[in-house]
Chains A and B, each alone.
Chain A
Amino acid sequence: GDARAASYRRTDTKKGNDMGSGIQDEHWRGAISLKLELHADEVTTVPPPEPLFILAPRLGYLPQVSKQALQQFKGFLPPGIDEPWFEYKGVPLKWQIPTGALYDLLSDGEYPWCLTIHFRAYPKDALQPISGDETLQASYLNSLKEAAYVLTGNSSAVMSLTTKSQQELWQNVLDGQHSDFFQNMEKMELMKPVVRLIPARAPLNLLALTFYFFLSS
């Protein structure tokens, strides 16, 4: 917990180059230990299900663990369509924000982080709908375009990627493969930001993404 906290709070990028890939590696390998419990309203059996302990990559998104969670809790759910969503202390969690950012903002260091998972009654007013992996990937690419816009003044770096490259990049994120990810990023020439374009105040999900870009470079 503390080592991870120290690594991502590093803001001195000059030192970062000397420390080399060690901290980058740790940051990327960094995962949040989650304890997922099925919401009481959705438990239809006695005894109730055991919680699921699972590692979620910091630089990934909560929906990545939905499939495994569904496997764990499937047998306990009431009839209906499975629409997974996560909640912490009554607050539905926005799935577009990287898991690490959510953890840092909300958890107060709680470890493992105890989240409640739901599969029914998706809160459409609070959360944007998500229908599978494609939504997540599309959302990620859109955030990437926004970050590209802030870093270089336009989003052509992302727009000019072939579908195959986009797929590769996304798979790098899913797998937590940072060396491949950065090779692909360099191809996009996003590693040379035009710093003066960074807005003083930026929308939250953009902050989350560029925060991780800068820390990792």
Chain B
Amino acid sequence: MATSPAPPVEKVVVLLKATGDAPILKQSKFKVSKSEKFVFISEFLRKNLKLEQVFMYLNSSFSPALNERIGTLHEAYNVDGKLVVNYSTTPAWG
């Protein structure tokens, strides 16, 4: 996910946590560029876990809009410097 050869890009730490029956990733902590949109995470999950559909939540509470900047979400909702994204194959928190 973090392959950026260009000038230093600001990145934040994202922690992906499986919930329910969702498959677990080999590596769950990533650095993501602040300017990426949240949809980037869903595409990453679907590609790496070979899922048709994935549901994502922040801090087990709500789903942010897919076009929100990761940087903004991290700033608002990070816990100990990490943006915790819970993902599942079925709706978990409504």
Contacts and interface: CB of A to CB of B under 8 A. Distances in A.
Given A199-B76, A202-B76, A146 B94 contact: no
A149 B58 CA distance: 10
Given A146-B64, A155-B61, A203-B68, A141 B94 contact: yes
Interface residues of A, number: 21
Interface in A152-172: 154-155, 159
Interface in A131-157: 141-143, 145-146, 148-150, 154-155
Contact of A146 (B62, B67, B75): B62
Contact of B59 (A149, A159, A199): A149
Interface of A is mostly: helix
Contacts of A146: 61-62, 64
B65 A205 contact: yes
A201 interface: yes
B44 interface: no
B15 interface: no
Interface in B41-94: 58-59, 61-68, 72-73, 75-77, 93-94
A24 interface: no
Contacts of B94: 141-142, 145, 159
A128 interface: yes
Contacts of A149: 58-59, 61-62, 77
Contact of B76 (A96, A142, A201): A201
Interface in A186-217: 199-206
3 nearest A-B residue pairs (beta carbon): A199-B76, A145-B62, A155-B61
27 contacts: A96-B65, A128-B65, A128-B66, A128-B67, A142-B63, A145-B61, A145-B62, A146-B61, A146-B64, A148-B61, A149-B58, A149-B59, A149-B61, A149-B62, A149-B77, A150-B76, A154-B59, A154-B61, A155-B61, A155-B62, A155-B93, A159-B93, A159-B94, A201-B75, A201-B76, A203-B65, A206-B76
